[in-house]
Structures are given as structure tokens and as C-alpha cells.
């Protein structure tokens, strides 16, 4: 491995964006509504505006009820996210086991995340952004607030979409309209998260039943003995292994070179494996497998591989949908939570909201920053791998 190897993905991204930017300039892409800047590409159009207006005109009463609920729940989301960040920061500072890392997800495959994770994150981002931006657009057109444009963009390698609302028109509207619009995106994300949660509960069994072999390490003892990828380890030396933790705990009690009998399913077979030595701990026995908990479907209508992929996709959706929905409701400029708070303060009779918003933004930025920094200090990384 050369010294340049860790930087190859970064150099690749640099090269790709140089080519994209150069082509955009040479072809005068701005004349076609394409805005290109280093690490940023955006297509701005009015094509989708009429489509969003048609969606809003259908089931208008239902949409109004939905977004009224969202406007009311916005207060709860705003309070909850502040409480959660304070509670987690205190827990991280005290090294509490209940505190978890705050993940900063910048999806650069090969650099900040593994290539195997990237497709799931892209899918989760699509499920996040499309309903989020549609919700803002629909909530606007319900009260005849014009849409100026809509479109798609790519920032670095993060795809996204947007709906540009006529801000001057919106500023003149009643507080109820503004609260609907500002809370619409996050509330829709929370509703989508709840739907994904219901699907998880309905489709999957409540707990894992084995350890799924997703891959092998270099020189894997298990692979050498014929263990197939996507098999499920159910027992080691007649000790049940319902999940990764149980397997790890049992292997920790063995020394490298121990001979173990491994029962697997998919396909069902019994293998005799001589354990190897961990690269990070010479006294720890390993099978040389990359693993994940195997949670079967309640009604097994998919193969094992597809079951794992579906569960992984839903898991990433849950993480990103709820996480982004809550962070977006922080009273921090330029998030929706800042504008929601501004409108709410106006409803409460406060005319000059600038000072309160500034204090709220500083506090929110401090909470977000402290969670990320403490996560890095305690867990060593803020990136999922």
C-alpha cells in the first residue's frame, strides 16, 4: 500500500468535478438553466411547478389538515430536538452508556463511507428529500403562495432537490400559512419515518436469529473451509449465536488455533474451522468473517441476500429521516426551525425577533457542534463506515 492510496478517492472526486465544471463552462450550460460551480451543479426549471400545483389542488382538505397538524407539532419537534441535543451532549461529557455518537454523514464513497453503504445512503436521501421539498411546495400552493422554480442539484456527490417559494409573497401571509410551510418538510419526514418503522415492524421478526456472513477478511479460516458468503452462523461448538454480540463474546473466550465446529444455514451444513488470529489483538480468536445480524422476515418471501438489503435500506432510512427532520427544526439559521421560531415569536406578540433568533442560533450551533466534537473525541469518528 503506497502513501497515496488513502488520497486516491479524493483525487478522483477532484478530477471528476474539474471535468464537469469545464464542460459546463465550455457548453455555456447557464443558458439552459444549469448553474455550475466548483463542487456544485444545479438544474433550475419551472417544469415541475404546475405538477406540484395539481397535487396540491387534489384532496385540498386532507392536505390542509395534514399540514395544520405539522404546524402544531413543529413546536414539539423544536423543543424535542433541543432537549435531545442537550441530553446527549451531557451524556457524552459524562461518558454515559446511554449517549450515542452524532454522525456527520458526508457521502463520499471510499473516503468517508464504504462503497457498500453508499447505495443505501443515496436511497435514503432520495426518500428524505423528495417528500420534504414536495411538502414545502404543496403547503405553499394550498394558500396560493407562488412557486418561482424547482429543480435538482448535486453538491460534491450529494444529490438533492429544491422548491423555490416566492419569499416576498410568503412574508405577507398569515402566521398560520407560514407555520404550515416552514414545518411541512420536517413533519413530512417524521411521517415518512413512522411509515418506515411500521413497515419494519410488520415485515421483520423482532429479533435476530443468527449471524449473517456478508464477506470475508484476507486469509479467512472460515472461507478456507468452504463457508459460503451469505450463509448464517447459528451455532459454534453447540453454543447458540443469535447475533453478532453473542458470536464475538464466545470467540473472545477462545485462543487462536482453537478448533471449532460451526453450524450454518443457507445452505445448512457443519464446518470444522481452526480459528485465526486477530490483526489488532494477537490473543483473540477469529473466524475471519464480516458479519451482520440476520433478522428474518415474518413471512420469508425473499432470499437471504435481499432480506438483508431490505433491512439495511430501511435502517438507513430510519436514521437519516428522523435525524435530518429533527436537525432541520433546530432554531438555527438557515434551517426551517429558525424561520418557524421567528413566526412563532410573532404570534406571541414579539415584534423584534432578531435578538432572540440570534441567541437561539448561537445556542443551537453550540449544541450541534458540541455533540459532533464529543462524538469524535469519545468514539474516534463521526463518519459511519
Question: Cell triple for residue 32?
Answer: 439552459
Q: What pLDDT does residue 351 have?
A: 81
Instruction: Indicate the domain borders of the chain.
Output: 49-202+311-379, 210-294
Question: Nearest to residue 233, comparing CAs of 112, 245, 383?
Answer: 245
Whether the model pTM is above 0.75: yes
- Residue 112 in this model has a pLDDT that exceeds 90: no
Distance separating alpha carbons of residues 245 and 293, to the nearest angstrom = 9
Percent of the chain with pLDDT over 90: 42
Q: DSSP code of 29?
A: G
Distance separating alpha carbons of residues 231 and 211, to the nearest angstrom = 8
Q: What pLDDT does residue 100 have?
A: 57
Average pLDDT over residues 29-57: 78
Q: Which of 11-15, 61-65, 264-268, 281-285 has the highest mean pLDDT?
A: 61-65
| Confidence tier at 158 by pLDDT (50, 70, 90) | low
| Confidence tier at 385 by pLDDT (50, 70, 90) | very low
Comparing 110 with 340, the larger pLDDT belongs to 340
Q: Print the SS3 string covering the chain.
A: CCCCHHHHHHHHHHHHHHHHHHHHHHCCHHHHCEEEECCEEEEEECCCHHHHHHHHHCCHHHHHHHHHHHHHHHHHHHHHHHHHHHHHHHHHHCCCCCCCCCCCCCCCECCCECCCCHHHHHHHHHHHHHHHHHHHHHHHHCCCCCEEEEEEEEECCEEEEEEEECHHHHHCCCHHHHHHHHHHHHHHHHHHHHHHHHHHHHHECCCCCEEEEEEECCCCHHHHCCCCCCCEEEEECCEECCCHHHHHHHHHCCCCCCEEEEEEECCCEEEEEECEECCCCCCCEECCEEEEEECCECCCCCCHHHHHHHHHHHHHHHHHHHHHHHHHCCCCCCCHHHHHHHHHHHHCCCCCCHHHHHHHHHHHHHHHHHHHHHHHHHHCCCCCC
Task: Give per-residue pLDDT as tens, 59-89.
Answer: 899 999 999 999 999 999 999 989 888 888 8
- Residue 225 in this model has a pLDDT that exceeds 50: yes
CA distance from start to end of the chain: 20
Q: What pLDDT does residue 77 have?
A: 92
Q: Which CATH number fits domain 210-294: 3.40.50.620, 3.40.190.10, 2.30.42.10, 3.40.50.2000?
A: 2.30.42.10
Cβ distance 260 to 273 under 8 Å?
Answer: yes
3-state secondary structure of 62: helix
Q: What pLDDT does residue 214 have?
A: 93
Average pLDDT, the chain: 85
212-221, 331-340, 373-382: which range is least confident on average? Answer: 373-382
Distance separating alpha carbons of residues 317 and 189, to the nearest angstrom = 10
Task: Give per-residue pLDDT as tens, 189-205.
Answer: 999 999 999 999 999 99
Q: What pLDDT does residue 64 have?
A: 94
| Confidence tier at 380 by pLDDT (50, 70, 90) | low
Amino acid at each position: 500500500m503506497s502513501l497515496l492510496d488513502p488520497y486516491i478517492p479524493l483525487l478522483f472526486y477532484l478530477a471528476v468535478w474539474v471535468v464537469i465544471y469545464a464542460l459546463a463552462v465550455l457548453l455555456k450550460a447557464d443558458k439552459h438553466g444549469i448553474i455550475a460551480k466548483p463542487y456544485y451543479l444545479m438544474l433550475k426549471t419551472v417544469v415541475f411547478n404546475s405538477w406540484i400545483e395539481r397535487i396540491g389542488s387534489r384532496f385540498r382538505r386532507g392536505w390542509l389538515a395534514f399540514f395544520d397538524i405539522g404546524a402544531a407539532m413543529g413546536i414539539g419537534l423544536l423543543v424535542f430536538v433541543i432537549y435531545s441535543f442537550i441530553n446527549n451532549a451531557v451524556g457524552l461529557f459524562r461518558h454515559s452508556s446511554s449517549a450515542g455518537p452524532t454522525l456527520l454523514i458526508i457521502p463520499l464513497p471510499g473516503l468517508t463511507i464504504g462503497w457498500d453503504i453508499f447505495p443505501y445512503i443515496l436511497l435514503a436521501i432520495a426518500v428524505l428529500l423528495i417528500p420534504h421539498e414536495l411538502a414545502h411546495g404543496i403547503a405553499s400552493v394550498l394558500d396560493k403562495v407562488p412557486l418561482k422554480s424547482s429543480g435538482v442539484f448535486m453538491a460534491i456527490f450529494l444529490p438533492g432537490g429544491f422548491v423555490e417559494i416566492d419569499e416576498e409573497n410568503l412574508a405577507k401571509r398569515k402566521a398560520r400559512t407560514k407555520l404550515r410551510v416552514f414545518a411541512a418538510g420536517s413533519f413530512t419526514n417524521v411521517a415518512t419515518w413512522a411509515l418506515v418503522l411500521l413497515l419494519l415492524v410488520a415485515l421483520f421478526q423482532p429479533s435476530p436469529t443468527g449471524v449473517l456472513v456478508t464477506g470475508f477478511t484476507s486469509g479467512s479460516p472460515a472461507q478456507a473451509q468452504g463457508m459460503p458468503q451469505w450463509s448464517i452462523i447459528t451455532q459454534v461448538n453447540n453454543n447458540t449465536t443469535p447475533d453478532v454480540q453473542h458470536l464475538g463474546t464466545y470467540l473472545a473466550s477462545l485462543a487462536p488455533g482453537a478448533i471449532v465446529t460451526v453450524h450454518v444455514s443457507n445452505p445448512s451444513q457443519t464446518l470444522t474451522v481452526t480459528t485465526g488470529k486477530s490483526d489488532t489483538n494477537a490473543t483473540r480468536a477469529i473466524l475471519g468473517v464480516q458479519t451482520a445480524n440476520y433478522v428474518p422476515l415474518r413471512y420469508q418471501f425473499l432470499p437471504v441476500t435481499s432480506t438483508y438489503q431490505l433491512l439495511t435500506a430501511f435502517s438507513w432510512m430510519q436514521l437519516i429521516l428522523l435525524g435530518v427532520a429533527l436537525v432541520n427544526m433546530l432554531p438555527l439559521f438557515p434551517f426551517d426551525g429558525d424561520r418557524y421560531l421567528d413566526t412563532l415569536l410573532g404570534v406571541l406578540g414579539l415584534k423584534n425577533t432578531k435578538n432572540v433568533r440570534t441567541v437561539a442560533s448561537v445556542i443551537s450551533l453550540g449544541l450541534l457542534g458540541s455533540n459532533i466534537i464529543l462524538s469524535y473525541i469519545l468514539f474516534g469518528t463521526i463518519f459511519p463506515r
